Amino acid sequence: MSDIIQLLPDHVANQIAAGEVVQRPASVIKELLENSIDAHATRIQVVIKDAGKTLIQVVDDGVGMSVTDARMSFERHATSKIKLADDLFSLKTKGFRGEALASIAAIAHVELKTRRAEEEIGTCIKMEGSQVVSQEACVTPKGTCLSVKNLFYNIPARRNFLKSDNVETRHIIDEFQRVALAHPDISFSLTHNNNELFQLPPSNQRQRITNIFGGKTNEKLVPVEEDTGIVKVSGFVGKPEFAKKSRGEQFFFVNNRFIKSPYLNHAVVAAFEGLLKDKSYPSYFLYLDVDPKSIDINIHPTKTEIKFDDEHALYAILKSAIKHSLGQFNVAPMLDFERDSDLDTPYDYKNKNASAPQIEVDRDFNPFKNEGGLASFSGGGGNVSYRRERSAASWDGIYTGLETETMPESSANLKEIEFESEEVTGNLFGAKEEEHGRSTFQLNKKYIISTLKSGLLAIDQHRAHTRILYEELLKNITVSAAVSQQLLFPLKLQFNKHENEMLKEIKDSLEQTGFVFSEFGRDEVEITGIPTLIAESEVEMLLEKLLADFEKEVPSDGFSQTDLMAKSLASSMAVRSGTLLNSAEQQHIVNRLFACKEPGLTPFNKTIFTTIGVDELDKKFA
């Protein structure tokens, strides 16, 4: 039998490595931005077309590369960041493995232009599928310009797995925001299909957050500062009243590198305990500076997960720092065990001397005289007097009517005596039977119980109402038959630029459900009409939930968009578990549910009702 193990060709090995590093266009953006930051750039420009599938271009004013370095940068495991294995535990740069450019060049057409400040002419290299097509001198500004075209051109299967342009653009914006938030001192810009999405000047952390997420974000932030021997914590958390229904604005940065850590996220949520509404998530932008030797960032291909030496200490410090900030800025109540509030002195008496109380008594006071007496006393706060007057006739009135004879007890008309009593009914649940003969009652403020000939019917009220609203919304969007209620005062809501763009895309569908938009500003949306089924106080929460659903799964066609919108709105508008319903409301849900086309399942394919037969009940009593 011949040998079967053999070395892979370089182009195949590069494509396999590219599968770990480059998952989608956003991965290319991340790697190129980190290279520009490592090159000490002060201004970075990103240009993309067709969500990065056609073109990704990153231009910076960094130190640039020599002719030899430009060619070596495309070799696998070629890097200037480390020389020894021990260097992995003292990293202060973004990249270090030397795989980014080699992986990108293996699956795309790449053009690199670079020049150092001390050189007059730069270098231009063109590569296709890891092969150098040309290398020549060129005129280019100081820094580096790297263009990636036709991503996954030689791997059609990978290209087919890419999502729609909207989804891929969302991932690119996420990566761009993470890098921009980590480096507020660097100028960033992002342009998509000749449309400028972001223009971020150099600033501090708070200004950078405000520039990305909108001007109204500034008033929602609470600063967090803590410096210990283990970690230095800085950044901001959002006020509890501005918590959202999605986890969008949650960022951890360790040594200016974005990471994902469910463990540290739990510490933040624990610090907000008792301050958040149900299923609400706080916003936070937290920067942790730790000793590079105490972390390992080489445990994940995308370097978004980090292993800490002492996670428990970080958890405790982070939780206490956030709690302290919330209390310090009067967001959360604080307890002072060293002060007794009962001993506080009112401001009016702060500088007033204490005076001894004095009592004056009118010794001639006689309550049985025609003229009333006067008694007075004076205390530390002033004199108080009162007069008691009572005539002799008033005392005689006490005995009026006693001369009349008392009525015999036997002559009392007992039939005229009325007694108070509670109405006694035979209904077990205190409600009358409906005219149609079916009764319903609510169990645990969650289930609607109704009777059947064969047993009992149990309906989940939230799921049932979701199915009812879903079919109604689909019908309204399809035939444009929704009814809108006009607002007396327009409702102005704050959204960031990207959320505004998403609202513009689904504006027509929202208007068919009953919304009326009068104005779209840069950071503000004005609404003059809302659907009749929605309360004005719920509009902002409902739209935030809708945008969060669209960010997770942006549909590629009109039907999918309509279906996703109907699902999201129905779930948000449906009556919640824990809501008390009267008999008419319970019966209304039951009747409308069984008028639906699919009463048994929610739009998310969950069971709405179940039946319990008499045979099952008999077995319980056997």
* pLDDT > 70 in the chain, percent: 77
pLDDT at residue 165 above 70? yes
Q: Say yes or no: 184 and 308 in one domain.
A: no
Which of 142, 177, 200 represents a domain boundary (last residue)?
A: 200
**Which is higher by pLDDT, 350 or 438?**
350
Q: Say yes or no: 165 and 247 in one domain.
A: no
Provide mean pLDDT across the span 126-150.
91
What domain range is 538 assigned to? 442-610
pLDDT at residue 437 above 70? no
On the 0-12 / 13-18 / 19+ scale of CB atoms within 10 A, 190 is buried
**Which is higher by pLDDT, 531 or 596?**
596
Inside any domain, residue 236:
yes
On the 0-12 / 13-18 / 19+ scale of CB atoms within 10 A, 224 is buried
Identify which of 167, 221, 228, 179 has the alpha carbon closest to the alpha carbon of residue 35. 179
Inside any domain, residue 51:
yes
Assign 191 a pLDDT band (cuts: 50, 70, 90). Answer: very high
**Which is higher by pLDDT, 331 or 423?**
331
pLDDT tens string 266-296: 999 999 988 887 778 889 999 999 888 887 7
pLDDT tens string 36-67: 998 889 999 999 999 999 999 999 999 999 89
> Into how many domains does the chain fold?
3
Question: What local confidence, expressed as pLDDT, does residue 349 receive?
Answer: 63
* CA distances, 347 to each of 350, 351, 485 (Å): 5, 8, 51
Question: What local confidence, expressed as pLDDT, does residue 235 receive?
Answer: 94
Inside any domain, residue 262:
yes
The CATH number assigned to the domain holding 567 equals: 3.30.1370.100
Spatial separation of the C-alpha atoms in residues 338 and 320, rounded to whole Å: 20
The CATH number assigned to the domain holding 30 equals: 3.30.565.10
Q: Say yes or no: 115 and 255 in one domain.
A: no
Spatial separation of the C-alpha atoms in residues 104 and 153, rounded to whole Å: 11
Spatial separation of the C-alpha atoms in residues 612 and 622, rounded to whole Å: 16
Inside any domain, residue 74:
yes
pTM: 0.68
Q: Say yes or no: 531 and 593 in one domain.
A: yes
Q: Say yes or no: 558 and 481 in one domain.
A: yes
pLDDT tens string 588-614: 999 999 999 999 999 989 999 999 988
Inside any domain, residue 140:
yes
Q: Say yes or no: 268 and 129 in one domain.
A: no
Provide mean pLDDT across the span 415-437.
47
pLDDT tens string 359-398: 888 788 777 765 544 444 444 444 444 444 445 555 555 5
Inside any domain, residue 92:
yes
pLDDT at residue 413 above 70? no
Q: Say yes or no: 193 and 256 in one domain.
A: no
Q: Say yes or no: 179 and 272 in one domain.
A: no
Spatial separation of the C-alpha atoms in residues 49 and 85, rounded to whole Å: 39
Q: Say yes or no: 298 and 188 in one domain.
A: no
Spatial separation of the C-alpha atoms in residues 293 and 300, rounded to whole Å: 17
Q: Say yes or no: 192 and 253 in one domain.
A: no
**In whole numbers, what is the pLDDT of the chain averaged over residues?**
80
Which of 171, 200, 229 represents a domain boundary (last residue)?
A: 200
pLDDT tens string 293-341: 887 776 566 667 777 888 888 999 999 999 999 888 766 655 555 555 5
Assign 555 a pLDDT band (cuts: 50, 70, 90). Answer: low
Do the strands 122-128 and 250-254 form a parallel or antiparallel pair, or are they unpaired?
unpaired
pLDDT at residue 173 above 60? yes
pLDDT at residue 224 above 90? yes
Cβ atoms within 10 Å, residue 270: 13
Give the phi and the psi of residue 224 in degrees, each rounded to 5. -125, 125
The CATH number assigned to the domain holding 299 equals: 3.30.230.10
pLDDT tens string 175-190: 999 999 999 999 999 9
Question: What local confidence, expressed as pLDDT, does residue 377 receive?
Answer: 47
Inside any domain, residue 220:
yes
Q: Say yes or no: 463 and 516 in one domain.
A: yes
* CA distances, 545 to each of 135, 279, 327, 499, 587 (Å): 51, 11, 29, 12, 29
pLDDT at residue 502 above 90? no
Which of 270, 296, 328 represents a domain boundary (last residue)?
A: 328
Q: Say yes or no: 112 and 218 in one domain.
A: no
* pLDDT > 90 in the chain, percent: 28
Inside any domain, residue 160:
yes
